[in-house]
Structure formats: structure tokens, C-alpha cells
Chain A
Amino acid sequence: MSILGLTFASPLILAGLLTLPLIWWLLRLTPPKPKEEVFPPTRILSEIARNEETPAQSPWWLTLLRLLMAALIILALAEPVWNAQDKTISGQGSLLIVLDNGWSSGRDWDQRKASAQRLLDDANQEGSPVALAFTSQSGQADLTTRRAEELIPTLTAATALPLPIDLSELAEKLTQLESSFDTIAWLSSGLERAGTDAFIEAIRAKASSQTLYYSSDNTDLNILTKVNNSPDALVVTAERATATAGQPGRTTAYDQQGRSIANADFVFAADGKTTDVKFALPVELRNEIARISIDGNEQAGAVQLLDERFRRRRVGLISGGKADQAQPLLSPLYYISRALNPFSEVRESRIANVTEAVPQLIEERISTLVLADIGTVNDETRESLEKWVDGGGMLIRFAGPRLAAADDDTLVPVQLRRGGRSLGGTLTWGTPQPLASFDADSPFAGITVPGDVNVTRQVLAEPDIDLAEKTWASLGDGTPLVTASKRGQGWIVLFHVTADASWSNLPLSGAFVDMLRRIVAVSNGAIAADKTRSDASGSPEGRANAAEVFLPPLRMIDGFGKIVQPNNDAQPLIISAENTPTVTRENPPGTYGTNDAFVAINMFSDTANLQEIDRSQLPDNTLQRGYTNEEATSLKPWFLALAIALLALDCLAVLWMAGALRRRTIQTATAIIMAIMLVSPALVDAEAQETEINIEDTLRTRLAYVVTGDDRIDLISQKGLSGLTQFIASRTSLEPGEPIGVDISKDELAFYPLLYWPVSTSSPIPDTKTMARVDAFMKKGGSVIFDTRDQLSGGFGGNRVSAETIRLREILATLDVPPLEPVPDNHVLTRAFYLLNVFPGRYLDGKLWVETSGTEEEENPDRPTRQGDGVSSLMITSNDLAGAWAIEADGSPSLPIVPPNPTQRIYAYRTGVNIVMYTLTGNYKSDQVHIPALLERLGQ
């Protein structure tokens, strides 16, 4: 019995659903627990109506819940099965299963296999003889029929292979078969392959009763076909089989280690089958790319492996001639850069000086350096060039007048004869020479020799025993045109002509571009590549040593587009001049060679022209199907689980209605809230306190002193600043807040304009971190006044220093102390509020030191006050200012003045006022002195 894809194994149990109305009636009768309500006017109620005990009905949703539960249980007992499959074959006739396991099968391989498995299972049940053939193993295809169960292991072992499919072989074999099959099941990829037509013909001939045609959905089958490393981006071409509106895709580039480097999205045009994917990356990063694949497309065609061919080399250019922008055609670099630009990144040095340009370019990690007509270089540059060439660099030199004139140039492949020769001139005896054809051993082999190239001048090589070996190209008369020698890991290549058209017209020919490209390809960066040098362009060694190179498989792409270790099927890749390697069964896609130098073989290296199979060509008795991954699912456990979930829900509902849950919830919530409150107060308190202090500090300007840890000194500081605060408040418009002691190692200093720092021998020297804070405070505009309080005890004589002074020096040792001077006569401090010429504290004679404000005094001694922006961030006194300011609670002074002169205390206060005013207003006063002059100018 089947309803909407739902099949019941025991449909009779469904009759139980008829009991639902009964259950409904029963459920309606069970009353819920009443709500309890305190209600004072209950007496009134009792007057109105009798106590009613008839049970109320359950709420409708509870009834529904319970009915649903009962229904689910009944349904579960009836053993429902979702998506039970119909039989795949009918009758007992012989069956041929053709399973496409080519490159595109990785995407839906499991489904294909499941479909094949189902066919086999059905055949097994029917007892039909079966033959199983794989398209990618047609060589071994075996069309003899067997019992189905014998084939199951074969099917289990089969996997998707990253191989192109050729059906013609299978078609031939099928056609040659004497008997025919009742049913042929073709589990196809839906793509047109070689020999598809022939195969369909074979099916038509050999399937006697029916054909089953399974096809993949190819709308999202995308492949990567070509990689092109253009100057601005790495361009990959993506292709698809159907030109219908497909999903946008995304490709990811990976490096050698499989790390993702970059992503690029692509969208096909509405009717386009190909599109370009661009990886616009810096060249270094582009060269790191080893693999590009389409995300989520698990098949061999969606992967492109990159090898050396796809790398862009960075080429540095230096010219000996003057770069003339107005006449580019006369510059040798013009031809070189035009020739190199399409396939490599050209770096032209902006610096004309070779000595500087060479290291700079080497610094930029160039792989090839072109020196056009550069003669001698100094020793240092030569050494760095030699080192670079030894390390694998490719040095290309072009001849020219300078090179020809140079003595003992070591950076050339062959010994050169001084001067060079010219041909075809009036005084020369030879005619201009054409190019000879390239030697087969030369990297230039295969380049078409242009007939119209003439060389009129060249530098000549000294005849040598290995000259022929070093010659890559020569002129018609046999003199070498291009010579090269290997040095260390690198190469030195010399063109015996100039890079511009003055000596020959070679730079104007297409062969020049090809030659440069080959040379740059040799440079490669793959330095230890002699043994396996196998690039299609070829290295001299590879060419010279063997006509054929065997490259062992390195890494393979499997049928699912994954990178795997090579298995035994993969054979070494044979590279020879004649054939370019293609994907075969022996050489599946992957990389061949060694880790340092390898060749990549991809599933597609050029446009693939994917086509879907034209289904109208299929035989008439064809049954078309798609692969489905849905298997028959028993829904019984799900139904039961749902019923149990509903039961739990029902329990909760009942509990809730009875009120049990409510109390518990409230308790739990209370407990959680309590816990949070217990944990948080410390945090909250600390935060609140800090904020409190900070806000208070910012609201009022207040004086601050540094807490030394010596209670006596701190007390005097506190009292002193209080006294000064009172004095300031009574005499000026500034009303500072209560002074505060700060711990310079912890407290935020930014709120205080002035920090009074009594130096005491007992206080520890602040650590560097603290001093860094003080330094920052001073740099940000704060002022610190150090008071050594030792004027009296400091002793006499020029060099006597007290312990406090020593301590002060120790403290200041870590500070960035500006140059200091005693307050000069015309300093702003002398007139910031009061006019002062001494700055006494308890003692009279100590000097107040401030930052020196430069040399303007000498320049302009007439100025009434010294110009100077900003405030001295550092003031040092020894007069014990706080001692003089300190007052007791009743306003009487705390400490006596030395000498006992009451006027001195007044002056001490005035000093304090001036200092505070100075720190707050800066050079305001020094501007004020100009007011008379300004007013006069204004005509007042």
C-alpha cells in the first residue's frame, strides 16, 4: 500500500486510526486541575451559585496533542517506508549493464553505483544472467553473462576514473557479440563521447526487449580547460556542457601544499559555454599556484594542475644607453620589454646607475636579468651578479659599443675579441649575414628562421674548443650569434648583437620574441632540473642527454578531482620531441617528475566542446531515468521519536497547567539571578569606584602631589597644597578642588596639570615603567615640579650635593630630561600672576630650574618676556615649597620659615600661584606684554 511515496508494510494496523474518536472523547472528559484563586468575596459567590463540580474540558490544543501522539504511534506501528523503489527490470531476460566511469562520473558516482547495484539486486532476485561493462576499461570489458551475485564484488571495487571515454571499442565488441541481451542498461554520463553514435547503434541492434538509459544531470557540470598566465592575471577558462542558465561557480587556487591561495567566481553568459576566470594576484603569489579547481565539482575535469610553464618570470632590464623617452624606438630596452611583456613580468630599473640598479633588481627577486650593452661593472656589482647567477639567475646580455670596448669582462659565456666586426659597410669585406638554422640541441630548436634577418655588426668570440657547444645560434657564416654558458646554477647568455636595430634587424623580427621566450623559459626558477628537465620548450640538457625523458608519476588526480598518490596503473610519462603528452590510461592526469621539476598533465588542455547526448537518437523502446540518491527509508523510528517528543511536550504542558513548573521556574530563575548578583558586585564596585574618582578629577582642576610613601612628607605635601589651594582660591579666579595624592605607578595622571614631587631619600626609585608613565605625562603637557627640600642641608660650595639631589638624579636618569636653566629674569614665571624675582619656599636661596627656552635671549635681549611656546614640563627647586605653603586646619602655618621672615611665606605663596598660573596659562602672560603696543597700533 502506497500513498504519496509512503508505503506501509502492515497497512492493517492503520485501522487503529478509527479508534481516534474514542480517544478524543475520553480525553475531553479528563479535567485539568483547577486554578486556585484567593478571592475575598467568595461569600458572594456562594450566595449566587452552588459549588459546581462538573469537570471542565481539557484545552483543545492538549487534546489535539494527545490525539496526534496516538495517531503517530498507530502510523509507526504500520511500518511506513518512504520512497520504496519499484522494480528496475522486468522479466527474467539477460541484462547488460554498461556503467560510465569516465572523468565526469565522480560527481554522482555513488548514485550511479547505487543504480547499478539496484539493477544487480533485481537481476539477482529474478535470477537473470547479467554482464557488467565499464566504459573506461573497455580493453578488459567482459560481455559474458554471469550470475548477478558474482558481479557484485566487481561493482563494489569499481571507481570513477579520471579518463576520457571512448565507446567505439565497446560498441565494436557489442556488435560482434553473437547473442543479444533482453535488456541493456546504459548508465551514461549524458555527454557525447567518442563513438557514442556507434554505441547507440549497437544497443539498437542488441537490446531485444528494452533499453534502460540513465543519465546524469549535467547542468552544473563545469570543467577547466585552459590556463593562461597573462600579464595582469592568471586566466583559467571554464567550460560547461549545457548552455542553459547555470549557477555561478567559484574556483579556488591552491599552492603546492594544498593551501588555498585565492578564490575567483565565474558566471557563464546566458548562452555561452565558456567563460574566463581571472586570478588577479601579484606575480609571486600567482607563481605559487599549483592547482586550480572548481569548488563542489568533484570530477577530474574540474582540476587544472599547473607546472613551470604557467609561471610568470620576473625579468629585470638595465640599459647602458641613455633612456630617451621621446625616442623610444632608439632605446634597446624598448624591444626587449615589448618582446618579454606578454609572458613575463618586466621590471625596468628607474635608476640609470648600474651599481645601484643591479642590487635593487636582485632584491626584487627577478629570475632573469637583461643587461643591454653594459660594459664594465665595478667589482662589487660584478660579485653580486656572479653570486646571483651562481644561485640560479639567468643573465642575458646584449652586445653594443660599450661591451665591445670593455676589457676582461668575466660575465660573458665566451671569450670575446675586442672591437667586434661590421659587415656590409664600405670598408668591410663581408656581406651582412643572415641567421643560420638553429641546431637541434639548441633551445631555439623549432623556431622558424626568418629569412630577412641581417646582421651587420657583431662582437666576435675567440675561437675556443667548446665554442660550438656554447653556441645556441649562429650566423650563416658560422660565427656565433647567441652563446650561453652555465655558471653555478644559473646561466649567462650573450647576444652578440645589440638589442636595438642598430647592429641587426633581429630585434624587429618575430624570431627575437620566440628566442627570448625560450631563454626565459630556460631560466625557470627550477634550478636543479638537469635530470628531469622536460619542459616542452626543453632545456639544453634534457635535449642533449636523451631524446626521450621518462618522468615518474608524482601526484595523480583521481576520478573525484582529488590529489592522490600515484597507484600502480600510472606509468612513467615519456616526453619526446615528437609527441606532446596526453591523458591515456597509462598516463592519467597528474604531475610527473620530481617535486622540483614536474610536468602537469591535465584532463583538458584545450577547449573540450562538451555536448550532451542527443536523446532522440536512442532506440524507441528506451526507458529514460535519472540517477537518484534516494533510498527506501523506514520512517518507523522517526514516527516513534516524534511521538515520544510529543509525549514529553504533553508532560510539560500538564506540569505547567498544574503550576508545578511555574514555581520551579521562578525558583531557578531566582537562583540564577542571585548567582549573577553574587559574582558581579566586586566587578561592578571596582568599576564604579574608578569611574567615580575619574569623573570627580575631571570636573575640577586640582593640584596633585606624588605619594612618596613617607607619611611625614606626604602629610606636608597634602597640607602644603591645601594651603596653596586656599591661597589661590582667595586671590585668583581659579578655585581648585581639594589636592590629591597620586600613586604615579597606578593612577591616571592625565587629569592633573601640575604634579608636586617631593624627593625623599627613603622613597624607592620608580621603575622604568612608572617613569615611562611620567614621561608620557610630561610629553602630553603636564608639568612636574621636583622639590629636593635640601637648600639648607645641601651644604656649601659648588659641587656639594645632598642625598636628595643624588636621589633626584637617579630618578631623572630614566627620563628624557630637557636642558634646564635657572629661571631667567624675563621668564614668564616671573610675571605669570605676581611680579617675582625670587622663588622662595621655606628656604630662600635655592634656585628654581626650568626647561631652557632656547637662544632667543641672546638674539633679542630687548624683549620684556621670553617667547616660548608651551610650558616647562619640568621644574626643580630645593626650597621646600610645600613646607612653606603648609597650613594647619585652623589656618596657622605648619612649619617655620627659614629665616623666620613672614614676608618670605607670602612670597612662597606667590611663587606657588605663579607656578600654577604658568602651568595653566602657558605663555599667555608673555603675549600680554604686547598689549600696549597693540593698542597703540589700533589707534587707541
Chain B
Amino acid sequence: MALSIGSVAPREVGTEVLARSRARAALIPDLLVEAQRIANTVTSGWHGRRRRGNGDTFWQFRPYDQGESLARIDWRRSARDDSVYVRDQEWEAAHTVWVWADDSASMLYKSESAQVSKQSRGLVLALALIEVLAKSGERVGWPGVTNAISSRTASERIAAELMLASQSATTSFPPLEQIRSRSELVVISDFLEPVSTTLEKISATAQQGINGSLVQIVDPAEEKFPFTGRTEFRDPETGEKLTYGRAETLTQDYLSVFKARRDVLAEHCKRLGWNHVVHHTDSLASSALVALHIRLSGEAAK
């Protein structure tokens, strides 16, 4: 008999979200995207990657390995003792990361136990991620809205573009036209499309050589199904209505299906080498950001 558990929140976009995302971004260290598969996209960044590679800054002397170019030998150092040393520079390189957050109608859902709507949380996460990446000197873009930008103010620019762009809220997956292979794609969505559709799209993207991360945003009400009694459910995207006399009888079935979907998605990502992060809107945005940070920087693998 109480108030409805869920509601449709207004769409959030703009400076306020940007400010919030900056606050989140300030909580985590700079994000250096893992360099395993991205060695080729050499555009110099300005942050050292604390490993050897192309760059101007001295990193270390190491003993000369057989077969290396003789030009790399540092003779001045080698003259000091009997070994031959090679001078390594610190790797300074930028990487292109595409960040995209779902803006469809289902994302606007907010239940009473959630702090914000899924859309709001997704946008905050996306912009915070952009902020962090841009600070590290990565090239960041929003597919369908901007090109990849290499600028410290990338988050502001992208937020401005987002405000201007009249996004048609129909797609639940980013357009892939601009994205070249070997770049990184972060998709933030609730992935409530049928699982098969989602899997197909992911597979197709992976085939293009794009490495991806999925952030699945889940409202607590979707995860727990707290409905009881006679309830009429309405799908915000399709407008479909379903009435159940005793919603509580559905709980078990629904929860198992929901979990199965998530597991399938996670399994698929794992197979493709993609990252899959689940985030609930009743927890802090920074928790998702940290999880994402760990995955993208490859620290989880180490």
C-alpha cells in the first residue's frame, strides 16, 4: 500500500553532472591504460608509464642483450666497468579510449532505495572516467558525439558536446564507425536488451579488434525485486504493461533469470578478454570507478 518503489527520474546532463564526476575522479589516481595490446598506437603522452619504452626520459641502465642494436649501447656508462649497458627510456605513450554511457529510457529508472537514476550514475561514471583518462594524457572520445580528443579538458568538452547532442535514446550500444581497432571501448549501460542481442554486438565489436569494458549498472530494485501484492509493471521503453496478482510469487524466478543473464554476460566478456563490472546505484559511484580503474590499468591481472 505504500508509494511505488520505482520512479522515472528526469534525464541528467550538464555541468552539474560534470562537477559530480570531477569530484569522483579526484578520489582515484591517474589511470594509465594497460599497455599490453596498445603498443602500436604511439602518440606521445606526457605521463611516463613507469616502464621502458619510447620516450625522452631516462629510465634505467640494463645489461646489453645479444642481438640488440649497437646504437643503443651507452658507451659512457659501459666505460666505467667491464659490462656493456644499454640506456632505456621511460615509455611515454597515449592510448585512445572511447567511453559511452547508455541514455535510453530504461536507464532513467530510479527505485526508492537507490540514490540516483541509472542514467545519472552512468553519466557520472563516464565523465569521471574521461576526466581521469584525460589527466593521464590519454585520447578520449565519445562514440557518436566527439572524436578522440587529447586534452586535459576533455571531460568538459565532451560534457559540452553531450549537452548539445540530441541523443536519440534508441540505441543501447555505441555506434562503432569512428572506433578503430586496438582502441579501448568502455560501455556503460544496464544491458537489459535480450541477452542474445547484446552478445552479438559484443562479439562483433571484439572482432574489429576493439578491446572493451562493460559497466553494467543495476538498480537495487532490479536486483532484489521487492514487490509484493497486486502490482502492474510497466516497461519504460516499450510501454508494455503486465499485471500480477501477487508479485511476490515471481521473486525467485525473476532473481534466477536476472542472475543468469548477468553471468552469461560476464562469461562472454571473460572469453573475449573484455572487462565486466557490475555496479549498483545504491553504492558509491567511486567504487565502480575504482573497479574500472583496476581493470583498465591491468592491475587486476598482475
What separation, in Å, do the CA atoms of A35 and B240 have in the docked complex?
Answer: 15
What separation, in Å, do the CA atoms of A662 and B229 have in the docked complex?
Answer: 19
- The answer to whether A52 touches B233 (Cβ under 8 A) is no
What separation, in Å, do the CA atoms of A35 and B257 have in the docked complex?
Answer: 23
Choice from B244, B246, B253, B258 contacting A41 with Cβ under 8 Å: B258
- The answer to whether A37 touches B233 (Cβ under 8 A) is yes
Choice from B4, B190, B237 contacting A37 with Cβ under 8 Å: B4
- The answer to whether A40 touches B236 (Cβ under 8 A) is yes
B242 near A: Cβ within 8 Å?
A: yes
Choice from B5, B229, B261 contacting A44 with Cβ under 8 Å: B261
A49 near B: Cβ within 8 Å?
A: yes
Q: A34-B232, A56-B230 are in contact. List 18 more A-B contacts (CB 8 A).
A: A34-B229, A34-B243, A35-B229, A35-B232, A36-B234, A38-B4, A38-B7, A38-B109, A38-B236, A40-B109, A40-B219, A41-B222, A41-B258, A45-B233, A48-B254, A49-B250, A52-B243, A52-B245
- Report B204-232 CB contacts with A as 1/0, cut-off 8 Å: 00000000000000010110000101111
Q: Kindly list chain A residues whose C-beta atoms are within 8 Å of the C-beta of B257.
A: 44, 47-48
Write 11 A-B pairs (CB below 8 A) sorted by A numbering: A34-B232, A35-B229, A37-B5, A39-B222, A40-B222, A42-B234, A42-B235, A42-B240, A47-B257, A48-B250, A59-B1
- The answer to whether B242 touches A51 (Cβ under 8 A) is yes
Shortest Cβ distance from residue A31 to the other chain B in the assembled complex, whole angstroms: 6
- The answer to whether A42 touches B245 (Cβ under 8 A) is no
What separation, in Å, do the CA atoms of A45 and B229 have in the docked complex?
Answer: 15
Known: A49-B244, A49-B253. Is A41-B1 also a contact (CB below 8 A)? no
- The answer to whether A56 touches B246 (Cβ under 8 A) is yes
> How many residues on the B side are at the interface (Cβ–Cβ under 8 A)?
38
Q: Kindly list chain A residues whose C-beta atoms are within 8 Å of the C-beta of B192.
A: 40-41, 43-44
A55 near B: Cβ within 8 Å?
A: yes
Choice from A40, A41, A53, A662 contacting B243 with Cβ under 8 Å: A53
Closest residue to B190 on the A side, CB-wise?
A40
Known: A40-B192, A45-B242. Is A34-B109 also a contact (CB below 8 A)? no
Q: Kindly list chain A residues whose C-beta atoms are within 8 Å of the C-beta of B254.
A: 41, 44-45, 48
B79 near A: Cβ within 8 Å?
A: no
Shortest Cβ distance from residue B284 to the other chain A in the assembled complex, whole angstroms: 22
Closest residue to A36 on the B side, CB-wise?
B232
B301 near A: Cβ within 8 Å?
A: no
B6 near A: Cβ within 8 Å?
A: yes
Shortest Cβ distance from residue B170 to the other chain A in the assembled complex, whole angstroms: 15
Closest 8 CB pairs of A and B: A40-B106, A42-B235, A56-B230, A34-B230, A56-B245, A39-B233, A34-B232, A48-B253
- The answer to whether A35 touches B234 (Cβ under 8 A) is no
A46 near B: Cβ within 8 Å?
A: yes
A924 near B: Cβ within 8 Å?
A: no
A328 near B: Cβ within 8 Å?
A: no
Known: A34-B243, A662-B3. Is A43-B194 also a contact (CB below 8 A)? yes
The interface of chain A, by Cβ under 8 A from chain B, is: 31-32, 34-49, 51-56, 59, 656-657, 662
Residue of B4, B5, B221, B230 with most partner-chain A CB within 10 A = B230
Q: Kindly list chain B residues whose C-beta atoms are within 8 Å of the C-beta of A32.
A: 230
- The answer to whether A37 touches B227 (Cβ under 8 A) is yes
The tally of CB-CB contacts under 8 A between chains A and B is 106
Q: Kindly list chain B residues whose C-beta atoms are within 8 Å of the C-beta of A31.
A: 230, 245
- The answer to whether A39 touches B234 (Cβ under 8 A) is yes
Q: Kindly list chain A residues whose C-beta atoms are within 8 Å of the C-beta of B190.
A: 40
- The answer to whether A51 touches B243 (Cβ under 8 A) is yes
Known: A46-B240, A54-B245. Is A38-B8 also a contact (CB below 8 A)? yes
What separation, in Å, do the CA atoms of A36 and B261 have in the docked complex?
Answer: 25
Q: Kindly list chain A residues whose C-beta atoms are within 8 Å of the C-beta of B238.
A: 42-43
Q: Kindly list chain B residues whose C-beta atoms are within 8 Å of the C-beta of A657.
A: 1
Q: Kindly list chain B residues whose C-beta atoms are within 8 Å of the C-beta of A56.
A: 229-230, 245-246
Q: Kindly list chain A residues whose C-beta atoms are within 8 Å of the C-beta of B1.
A: 59, 656-657
Shortest Cβ distance from residue B241 to the other chain A in the assembled complex, whole angstroms: 8
Q: Kindly list chain A residues whose C-beta atoms are within 8 Å of the C-beta of B106.
A: 40
What separation, in Å, do the CA atoms of A817 and B250 have in the docked complex?
Answer: 92
- The answer to whether B231 touches A37 (Cβ under 8 A) is yes
Closest residue to A51 on the B side, CB-wise?
B242
- The answer to whether A38 touches B6 (Cβ under 8 A) is yes
- Report B239-266 CB contacts with A as 1/0, cut-off 8 Å: 0101111100010011001100100000
What separation, in Å, do the CA atoms of A537 and B266 have in the docked complex?
Answer: 117
Which B47-71 residues have a C-beta within 8 angstroms of A?
A: none
What separation, in Å, do the CA atoms of A173 and B17 have in the docked complex?
Answer: 107
Closest residue to A49 on the B side, CB-wise?
B250
Choice from B219, B235, B236, B244 contacting A52 with Cβ under 8 Å: B244
What separation, in Å, do the CA atoms of A47 and B258 have in the docked complex?
Answer: 11
Q: Kindly list chain A residues whose C-beta atoms are within 8 Å of the C-beta of B4.
A: 35-38
- The answer to whether B243 touches A42 (Cβ under 8 A) is no
What separation, in Å, do the CA atoms of A911 and B297 have in the docked complex?
Answer: 72
What separation, in Å, do the CA atoms of A55 and B230 have in the docked complex?
Answer: 8
Choice from B235, B242, B244 contacting A40 with Cβ under 8 Å: B235
Shortest Cβ distance from residue A8 to the other chain B in the assembled complex, whole angstroms: 38
Q: Kindly list chain A residues whose C-beta atoms are within 8 Å of the C-beta of B109.
A: 38-40
Closest residue to A657 on the B side, CB-wise?
B1
Q: Kindly list chain B residues whose C-beta atoms are within 8 Å of the C-beta of A37.
A: 4-6, 227, 231-234
Q: Kindly list chain B residues whose C-beta atoms are within 8 Å of the C-beta of A44.
A: 192, 254, 257-258, 261
Shortest Cβ distance from residue B84 to the other chain A in the assembled complex, whole angstroms: 65
Closest residue to B252 on the A side, CB-wise?
A48
Q: Kindly list chain A residues whose C-beta atoms are within 8 Å of the C-beta of B227.
A: 35, 37, 39
Shortest Cβ distance from residue B212 to the other chain A in the assembled complex, whole angstroms: 23
Shortest Cβ distance from residue B169 to the other chain A in the assembled complex, whole angstroms: 13
What separation, in Å, do the CA atoms of A51 and B231 have in the docked complex?
Answer: 11
Shortest Cβ distance from residue B265 to the other chain A in the assembled complex, whole angstroms: 13
Shortest Cβ distance from residue B38 to the other chain A in the assembled complex, whole angstroms: 35
Shortest Cβ distance from residue A408 to the other chain B in the assembled complex, whole angstroms: 105
Q: Kindly list chain A residues whose C-beta atoms are within 8 Å of the C-beta of B243.
A: 34, 51-53
